[in-house]
Amino acid sequence: MKREFNILNYLNSRALFMGIGLSKLLIQAHEYIWISLILGTIIGAILIHFVKFKMKKSLLNVVICSILFVIGLNILINMISTMYLTEMPKLLVGIPIILLVMYILNKREVIIYRVANILFVLNIFLYVVAMLSLVSDFHLENFTYSNTPIQNVIFSALEFALFSTLPTLITRDENTANISLVKTYIISAITMGTWFLLTYGILGANLVDIYRYPEYIILKKISIMNFLENIENIVSFVWLFDIIIFLLCNGNAIKKNVDNPKVINILLPILLLITAFINRFYILILYIYKYSSIILLILAILLFVANKKRHQTS
Amino acid sequence: MKKLILLFITLFLVTGCYNYHDLNELGIASSILIDYTDQFEVTVEILEDEKSETYKGSGKTLDNAFNNIILGTERDLYYNHLDAIILTENVNVKDIISYFMRNPEVNNTFYLVITETTDIYKEDKFGKTLSNILKRDNMSNFFDITQTLFEENQDMAIPYLNRQLKIESIAAYDEQSIAFNLSLEEIDIYKLLTNNTGSNIVTSYEGENVEIKVNEITTKYKLNDEIKIAIELEASLVEIDQTIDTSNLDTIAKIEESLNKEIVKQTATFIDKLKYTKSDILGIDKMLYNKFHNLLKTFEDYNYEIEVKTHINKKGLLLK
């Protein structure tokens, strides 16, 4: 159980970086991103170690997990409709994802851990392929001075800690509250950090500032032995796996916070409709992107306060 | 029954058929020629089985021009296997590059070329040929050019296709317009200064021409009151008069010395030209900004000291 829980959270803690976190942090911290990563990892590891937390049944938890689910689904749908299925309506993109999530959630909880185990192996394989083929394109010269204020670097470190620790909170319950995630978190932060550095080292400040998915753009440069090219859509599955696990964790948390677990079969399609509605207005997506840190911080505080309080009174 | 319903739903919803395109309905673009007169004139070279065909379209916008091409064919244009985009001097390079950067179905490893003529599609698979030539010559590809295009403190350098359909020069930009075209000798020096191998340098030794090919290159810039450029290269001797005895160590040392002087001379002339035309294709302003965090003095205001160390470490199968 301990091993499976760690693997689940390895994937889970990376989920919010795709499409939001990575691009946002790189734009803010620029060449000092490595400082943000180190600081962020230390802060995150301290939070993971010291903040003892377990989810209790409450409506507030359902609302928080639903908002997180919408954010995760929004990231995934946008990613798919930008990269793979450019002509497909976003609602239709979301239907198979919701069906998949509902199918797994209707099984026993152990299925989520098994799915995470399988995806973890694929994730590591794709990560190694990408790293090995892209490392030659990494140039230290791209880390040139860009007049980045120190507060941006600190703010990015805090955001890194927030983006990476919040998803782990929703997986904590009475069975998993005492399992240490520090080692897994550090490994996850290192693998995530190398993506940050690789992206910046390949694109540089100017291209990081203008590309919507810089982490995806670098994958277009993959060329294995000069004959295996244009495989960015396959390698980018590393992100897809992370977000699917994040959605499963949120769905599972919702399931555990309601009296009748079958409620998710109604709630998740409603959340898909909400996500599809949000996606009709690009300005709303921009707002989520712009204020994602504040939204996530509020959710983290609410999650912590609500569950801590109940824990003390019980 | 539940499983059957799920299977049925999956069959209809998990196929991704919305974006489905039969391979026969795809026009796989190999190269694109873009010109602008009073509107965009676009020619797309589409790969067929063993040959290629060109389709023309025009429009007020670039996308409009591409859509007009589709009107005359049953195919959808597919850009993921692009080999080259060829632009005339009339188009705004930044706008064109931005258009292709926005499109997720475009690779970023193809080549971008400026052309002197629009009459380029004289032979089959021209785009593929052009791409192979540029790849062999270590020229910058689309991705490399986008990096300099959006860099405030560096100018672009884009390969230039002449009327004979040969890449004999590189267009050096000053902001958005071409400042001058690099000659073949200047391209060799430009490659040395940007840490690219493949240059051929010719020098004179005892009245005879000696040619070397650069295999390894390390060029470092030291920025202080003046800019010191230290070039260290490993090279093969490719051509030399047979009356010169290359088995003599002293002779090799003298040839190396002669090459050092020749490269210093050519580099100094090249940098003077860059200063005169205000074209910073070497990105020296970028380095200055990185070091001093301001651009009170730009690359034109500095004096340059050039130091070259040539090591000939191969001379082929002949002993002499």
Structure tokens at B36: 């602008």
User: What are the residue ranges of helices labelled H in chain A?
Assistant: 2-12, 21-29, 33-50, 59-83, 90-105, 110-134, 150-169, 182-210, 214-217, 232-235, 237-257, 264-278, 282-290, 292-313
Give the tens place of pLDDT for each residue, A66-85.
Answer: 999 999 999 999 988 888 88
Domain count, chain A: 1
Contacts of B107 in chain A (CB under 8 A): 220, 229-230
Distance from CA of A96 to the nearest CA of B (A): 6
Structure tokens at A249: 């964790």
Tell me which of B21, B150, B294 to substitute to probe the interface with A (most A C-beta atoms closer than 10 Å).
B150
CA separation for the pair A110, B108 (Å, rounded): 42
Structure tokens at B82: 């692009």
Rg value, chain B, Cα: 25
ipTM of this complex prediction, to 2 decimal places? 0.85
Structure tokens at A293: 């840190």
Beta-carbon separation of A87 and B16 below 8 A: no
State the pLDDT at residue A172: 86
- Closest CB from A99, A103, A206 relative to B147: A206
Region A196-210: what's the mean pLDDT? 94
Give the tens place of pLDDT for each residue, A268-312.
Answer: 999 999 999 998 888 998 898 899 999 999 999 998 888 875 444
* Displacement of CA A156 from its chain's centroid (Å): 16
Beta-carbon separation of B101 and A103 below 8 A: no
Contacts of A145 in chain B (CB under 8 A): 289-291, 293
Domain positions in chain B: 24-182, 184-320
Residue percentage of chain A with pLDDT more than 90: 61
State the pLDDT at residue A311: 46
- List the CATH number of the domain containing A56: 1.20.1740.10
- Collect all residues with Cβ–Cβ distance below 8 Å to A183 and sequence separation of at least 6: A6
Beta-carbon separation of B13 and A96 below 8 A: yes
Tell me which of A30, A85, A102 to substitute to probe the interface with B (most B C-beta atoms closer than 10 Å).
A85
State the pLDDT at residue A309: 53
Distance from CA of B109 to the nearest CA of A (A): 7
Which amino acid is residue B221, in one-letter code?
Answer: Y
* Displacement of CA B29 from its chain's centroid (Å): 20
CA separation for the pair B94, B246 (Å, rounded): 50
Residue percentage of chain A with pLDDT more than 70: 98
State the pLDDT at residue A225: 76
Give the tens place of pLDDT for each residue, A92-121.
Answer: 889 989 999 999 999 998 999 999 999 999
- Closest CB from A83, A147, A221 relative to B108: A221
Fold of B184-320: GMP Synthetase; Chain A, domain 3 (3.30.300)
Task: Tell me the count of A-B CB pairs closer than 8 A.
Answer: 65
Distance from CA of A112 to the nearest CA of B (A): 19
State the pLDDT at residue B241: 84
Beta-carbon separation of A88 and B14 below 8 A: no
Closest chain A CA to residue B82: A230
Which domain, by its residues, includes A272? 2-313
Nearest to B79 by CA among B46, B128, B122: B46
The residues of A whose Cβ lies within 8 A of any Cβ of B are 82-89, 92, 95-96, 99, 103, 144-145, 147, 203-204, 206-207, 209-211, 217, 220-221, 223, 229-230
State the pLDDT at residue B45: 94
CA separation for the pair B139, B151 (Å, rounded): 19
Give the tens place of pLDDT for each residue, A6-64.
Answer: 999 999 999 999 888 899 999 999 999 999 999 999 999 999 998 877 888 889 999 99
CA separation for the pair B273, B276 (Å, rounded): 5
Predicted confidence (pLDDT) at residue A226 exceeds the cutoff of 50: yes
Distance from CA of A141 to the nearest CA of B (A): 9
The residues of B whose Cβ lies within 8 A of any Cβ of A are 6, 9-10, 13-14, 16, 18-19, 80-81, 101, 104-105, 107-109, 143, 146-147, 150-152, 286-287, 289-291, 293
Sequence-ordered strand ranges (E) for B65-166: 76-78, 84-88, 111-115, 157-161
**Poorest-pLDDT segment among A125-129, A149-153, B60-64, B239-243:** B239-243
* pLDDT-derived band at A255, boundaries 50, 70, 90: very high
Contacts of A88 in chain B (CB under 8 A): 16, 18-19
Distance from CA of A85 to the nearest CA of B (A): 6
Handedness of CA B5, B11, B16, B18 (dihedral sign): negative
Beta-carbon separation of A221 and B143 below 8 A: yes
* Displacement of CA A205 from its chain's centroid (Å): 23
* Strand B208-223, strand B304-314: pairing: unpaired
Region A171-182: what's the mean pLDDT? 85
If you count them, how many residues does chain B have? 320
- Closest CB from B18, B147, B287 relative to A85: B18
State the pLDDT at residue B313: 87
State the pLDDT at residue A58: 87
State the pLDDT at residue B104: 86
Q: Which residues of chain B have pLDDT under 50?
A: none
Beta-carbon separation of A99 and B105 below 8 A: no
